[in-house]
């Protein structure tokens, strides 16, 4: 199922500077709770590849496009 991973990311050095990032994700389970668990490694991967940022909060939204 197609989901949008929505993350509020902030700069580590300036934590009040935040922005919303969205990423389309395909192949997650239809059950939203299961999809949320499946998306956790994607959030961790984003953190690893974007030094200087931290994820303040995140969620998955089914069937949403940007």
By three-state DSSP, how is residue 61 classified?
strand
* 66 occurs within a structural domain: no
- Tell me, what's the pLDDT at 65? 56
- Domain membership of residue 35 as a residue range: 2-59
Residue 6 belongs to a domain:
yes
Given a cut of 50, the residues of the chain with pLDDT beneath it are 66
Looking at residue 63, what is its pLDDT? 76
Mean pLDDT of the chain: 93
38-60: b or e for each residue (b if 16 or more CB lie within 10 Å)? bbeebbeebeeeeeebebeebeb
The answer as to whether 64 is a domain residue is no
pTM of the model: 0.87
pLDDT value, residue 32: 87
């Amino acid at each position: 199922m197609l989901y949008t991973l929505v993350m509020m990311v902030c700069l580590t050095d300036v934590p009040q500077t935040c922005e919303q990032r969205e990423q389309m994700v395909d192949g997650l389970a239809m059950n939203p709770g299961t999809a949320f668990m499946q998306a956790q490694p994607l959030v961790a991967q984003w953190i690893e590849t974007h030094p200087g940022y931290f994820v303040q909060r995140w969620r998955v939204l089914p069937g949403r496009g940007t």
